[in-house]
Structure 1
Amino acid sequence: MPNKKPNVIFIVCDDMGEWAMGCSGHPNALTPNLDRLARDGTRLSNHFSASAVCSPSRACLLTGKYSLEVGIPDILCTGEGVGLDPKYTTTAKAFQKEGYRTALVGKWHLGDDDRYHPTQHGYDSFTGFRIGGEEGPLSSKDPGIEIDGTYQKVEGYTSDILTDHALDFIETKDSESPFFLSLHFWAPHANQGVSTEDGDRTWHPLKDEDWDPFKDLTPEVPNPNYPKLDINRIQRMTREYLASVHSVDRNIGRLIRALESTGTLDDTIIVFTSDNGYNIGHNGIWHKGNGWWILTDNRGDRPNLYDHSMRVPAIISYPNCVKAGQVCDHPNTSMDWFPTLMDFAGIKTKANWELRGESIASILKGERSLTDRPIFGQYQMWDWHQTGAAMRSWRTNEWKLMLDLKETVPNEFYDLRNDPNEAINIYNSEDPSIKAAQVAMERSLRKHITEVE
């Protein structure tokens, strides 16, 4: 490993499913730059967020702790007076203390009060949106963003604008210090305050070069035989969604070229991931953990911790250190990034941070294989939801258990070896072997809940 401290660019998309990339096998996705990162580095194909919606997932990413531990159970909306307490150590704060220049460009969504501002959490500067998840100016074009402490309207397409500011930061010449940049795209989140004629969500407006490859597409439907599935709606959403993903991929290409032109690509760790996964027809729903049915006779809500709501894209490229072309298919979690990046940078973690993840640096180097580990999922809905579920899940390579502690939605149990798409709920099975596995899984889940909640 090089002696020089690496730069870090940590890219987080909003609402991107692991399935939405060419390198993960989607036949309609157009992601040449992400595919290149995967070839040059390692793709984690079974990488899970610790929650299934924006704010809690972001809190877990930053702190390496579970969302209820840090008081962020669900999405945060404007004016709630709730946010991520600055007492917690974040990745940005840890790198800042080691002399790194730090910046966040893009979506924050962990409290809009000044006391929760990104600069209270280890970022030297912030350009982007404090808020997220409510009706307002957040969209794919002409966004209102905070720049140098002032909120202002900026003309242009949002992915391009955020990348412009990211490039300004990494190309700064007045410092020899390494940098830690969090680039949090709004895409491919559906737009707020913009809808189709029938009031449905849309990803438009989209830049022509992003929309043109998809506008006449008849995209693959992931679950075409699901009863009463609204195929037309799914295909319309998928076209727009993949175009929004393309806007991110195109701008990642701009970042890579900038690093190449300055000769810093080999000295830079690039991580690409998302805050949570996404469904468009998977399991008969669309959206994420606070999902909605996408059926011809039902648009009601469907809280869940399905794999597609929690499995997120994860690619890391660090030339000469991370093994190129590797695909890691054993389960790991978004909370692993904190200790892993510290490990690559040669920075020691502290026991009093109580990080829940573990460093997988040696796996990414190709020095050892990752074994099966259980993945815990957590999503506690605010009471104002139509269904105020308290979702918990426990996942191994073989089984997946989902419980609603408030019993507002059915409990679910899946045999992932024979049913990887979680199509057949066997929670009430009388099969002795299934029953024994379910009892063991529930015992492990409830034990873990007592340890972390």
Structure 2
Amino acid sequence: MKRYSRAVVGQLALTIAVLVTRTTLATPPISAASEAPPNLVVINCDDMGWGDVPGFALEGTTPPTYTTQMPNLAQLALQGARFTNFYTAQPVCSASRAALLTGCYPNRIGISGALFPDAKIGIAAQERTLGEMLHTQGYATCIAGKWHLGHLPEFNPTKHGFDEFLGIPYSNDMWPLRHGAQAIDNSFPALPLYDGATIVERVETMEAQGALTRRLTGRINDFIARASARKQPFFAYLAHPQPHAPIAAGSSFTPQTRAELYAAVMREIDWSVGEVMRTLEQHGVASNTIVMFTSDNGPWLALGSDAGSTGGLREGKGTCFEGGVRVPCIMRWPGHIPAGGVSSVPWMTIDLFASMQAIVHATAPSESCPIDGKDARAVWSCRGDAQPSHEAFYFYYHANHLEAVRMGAWKLSLPRRSRTLDGKPGGAAGLSAPYVEHETPLALFDLEHDPAETHDLAASRPEIVAAIMVHVEAARADLGDALTKRKGANRREVGRATPIVSPGAK
């Protein structure tokens, strides 16, 4: 069965025809030089939908026009591979980033939802981040962008394996202007911009928001240049705050009309990808660098024209339907990931940590802090016999609600309340439309033939339901499930801020 629309196929064919006439980064064969530890660049966007990137759309779904105006991402896919069944561990900010950076299901390490400016928790000191793991292997490490694993001093990225940090501690809408609308919410402080552990300025205007993409890209490129000059392997984590609302683009990309702003934001992100790739080439490290482009979760559909596309998948951010947890993923690693490859084999953000650990021969996690991720390099190879990185993938949301489990091509959606726009349009110009919540019954979907999750097969395939329920019960025993009042035997404590004791206090 054809999974992608003719528009997607035609779009990629046209883009490839254009790109092969341009100077492209070479894809050399594996050689002795490539045995040096590979650099790692992860570009992680915020609230970018599965359908926001060239080459990601279901049959019968017309891709957004702006996906035809993103040549750098199309070129990255031509030089690397597209992974069309790649998942984030949870459909929301802090939790998804915790999974990416620790290799753990976020509820295992006590992080759920999105941490707000008044949060007193964050990533625990005992948890090893990807930055820490690579740092012990001699890597220089830098994050530019959104952290969102705790804003207090003990949770700063520089305390968790990153040499450098330029960015914001939480989401870009956690400021008085919220989504950029006229209403002011003074319960939020001005948005702090950190350089290392120091607040160097406050982001207080939409113009300042719009300048972040270029500024963060510049910092990452400067870091890559400095590490390359030292001939030191590096991990560059570019965590764009965009296209999370309030959406904003730099002056070079500002559109003529407000309705075109989301498209402009996406074109600027594509520009950023091109700038990073050019920097890698200029410093002679492109052939030995793993580049990963992805998103933290699906689009915030309530924002309508300020939100992205799911590419035909069901629902979006804040749900465990495919539109919330399936995200675009393009990877490039010459000699290891085939140029122009496409894989529909499932894997998840938690697998990046384990894959890099195997690549750099880092020590295994301690017995007291095991990880959930698996080495996914077989999936990266795009071989026809590659298997999913896990026998089952767990999808949690809220305060430890187990909402769905995927096993092979099958996904069991568990009973719960789930939000939806109920077929109504989203908002516009920074204003959101209201969600409604519905009771969602048990349902079984064949994602190979029904990726939009429209046909419930639970009644006709009880043996599949029973097989997945074995994994459901294993997840509940291990990680718990608040919906069934299960605590879980192997969850760890979240990091908690050290109370400040006033002088003379008893």
- Coarse TM-score class (shorter-chain normalised): 0.7 to 0.9
Q: TM-score, normalised by structure 1?
A: 0.78
Structure 2 CA distance for aligned equivalents of residues 136 and 127 of structure 1: 21
Aligned-residue offset at 1:150: 2.5
1:394–1:179 CA distance, 2 compared to 1 (3 A): same
The 5-angstrom pairing of residues 90-105 of structure 1 reads 90-105=129-144
Aligned partners of 2:47 and 2:300 also within 8 Å: no
Is 1:211 the equivalent of 2:255?
yes
Q: Deviations over 1:422-452 (max 9, x none)?
A: 234566xxx4x33443343234212222123
Q: State the match for 2:225 in structure 1.
A: 171
The 5-angstrom pairing of residues 36-435 of structure 1 reads 36-132=75-171, 134-136=174-176, 144-148=192-196, 149-153=198-202, 155=208, 157-172=211-226, 175-191=230-246, 203-204=247-248, 207=251, 209=253, 211=255, 239-278=260-299, 280=301, 304-350=319-365, 352=367, 353-366=369-382, 369-372=385-388, 373-381=391-399, 390-404=401-415, 409-416=439-446, 417-425=448-456, 431=459, 433-435=460-462
Deviates more, 1:78-87 or 1:434-443: 434-443
Aligned partners of 2:91 and 2:317 also within 8 Å: no
Aligned partners of 2:299 and 2:317 also within 8 Å: no
Aligned partners of 1:145 and 1:153 also within 8 Å: yes
1:361–1:332 CA distance, 2 compared to 1 (3 A): same
Deviates more, 1:21-30 or 1:125-134: 21-30
Aligned-residue offset at 1:57: 0.6
Q: Which of 42, 45, 48 is the aligned partner of 1:10?
A: 42
Task: Provide the secondary structure at the position in 2 that maps to 1:127.
Answer: strand
Aligned partners of 2:343 and 2:382 also within 8 Å: no
Aligned partners of 2:416 and 2:439 also within 8 Å: no
Aligned partners of 2:175 and 2:191 also within 8 Å: no
Structure 2 CA distance for aligned equivalents of residues 126 and 279 of structure 1: 27
Aligned partners of 1:344 and 1:361 also within 8 Å: no
1:380–1:115 CA distance, 2 compared to 1 (3 A): same
* One-letter identity of the residue aligned with 2:71: P
Structure 2 CA distance for aligned equivalents of residues 279 and 116 of structure 1: 27
* One-letter identity of the residue aligned with 1:135: W
1:258–1:139 CA distance, 2 compared to 1 (3 A): farther
Q: State the match for 2:18 in structure 1.
A: none
Q: Deviations over 1:285-310 (max 9, x none)?
A: x7899xxx99xxxxxx9952110100
Q: State the match for 1:233 in structure 2.
A: none
Aligned-residue offset at 1:273: 1.2
Task: Provide the secondary structure at the position in 2 that maps to 1:243.
Answer: helix
1:57–1:405 CA distance, 2 compared to 1 (3 A): same
Aligned partners of 1:210 and 1:247 also within 8 Å: no
* One-letter identity of the residue aligned with 1:447: A
Aligned partners of 1:78 and 1:112 also within 8 Å: yes
Aligned partners of 1:374 and 1:396 also within 8 Å: yes
Structure 1 CA distance for aligned equivalents of residues 328 and 413 of structure 2: 22
Q: Deviations over 1:323-374 (max 9, x none)?
A: 1111110111111111112333343534635221211223323566322443
Task: Provide the secondary structure at the position in 2 that maps to 1:69.
Answer: helix
Structure 1 CA distance for aligned equivalents of residues 385 and 365 of structure 2: 25
1:345–1:39 CA distance, 2 compared to 1 (3 A): farther
Structure 2 CA distance for aligned equivalents of residues 47 and 302 of structure 1: 15
Q: State the match for 1:225 in structure 2.
A: none
Aligned partners of 1:84 and 1:116 also within 8 Å: yes
* One-letter identity of the residue aligned with 1:422: E
Task: Provide the secondary structure at the position in 2 that maps to 1:338.
Answer: helix
1:412–1:304 CA distance, 2 compared to 1 (3 A): farther
Structure 1 CA distance for aligned equivalents of residues 337 and 450 of structure 2: 32
* One-letter identity of the residue aligned with 1:379: Y
Structure 2 CA distance for aligned equivalents of residues 75 and 394 of structure 1: 22
Structure 2 CA distance for aligned equivalents of residues 450 and 125 of structure 1: 39
Aligned partners of 1:390 and 1:406 also within 8 Å: no
Gaps of 5+ in 2: 1-29, 58-62, 181-189, 419-437, 481-506
Aligned-residue offset at 1:171: 1.3
Aligned partners of 1:83 and 1:110 also within 8 Å: yes
Structure 2 CA distance for aligned equivalents of residues 9 and 158 of structure 1: 18
Q: Deviations over 1:1-54 (max 9, x none)?
A: 522122111111111122111122535213211111111112111000111101
Aligned-residue offset at 1:315: 1.4
Q: State the match for 2:495 in structure 1.
A: none
1:184–1:206 CA distance, 2 compared to 1 (3 A): same
1:264–1:398 CA distance, 2 compared to 1 (3 A): closer
Q: State the match for 2:52 in structure 1.
A: 20
* One-letter identity of the residue aligned with 1:33: N
Q: What is the number of residues matched between the two proteins?
A: 397
Deviates more, 1:147-156 or 1:160-169: 147-156
Structure 1 CA distance for aligned equivalents of residues 99 and 35 of structure 2: 30
Aligned partners of 2:41 and 2:237 also within 8 Å: yes
Q: State the match for 1:200 in structure 2.
A: none
Aligned-residue offset at 1:76: 0.5
* One-letter identity of the residue aligned with 2:326: R
Aligned partners of 1:343 and 1:361 also within 8 Å: no
Q: State the match for 1:199 in structure 2.
A: none
1:302–1:315 CA distance, 2 compared to 1 (3 A): closer
1:176–1:119 CA distance, 2 compared to 1 (3 A): same
Q: TM-score, normalised by structure 2?
A: 0.71
User: Matched residues, percent identical?
Assistant: 26
* One-letter identity of the residue aligned with 1:130: P
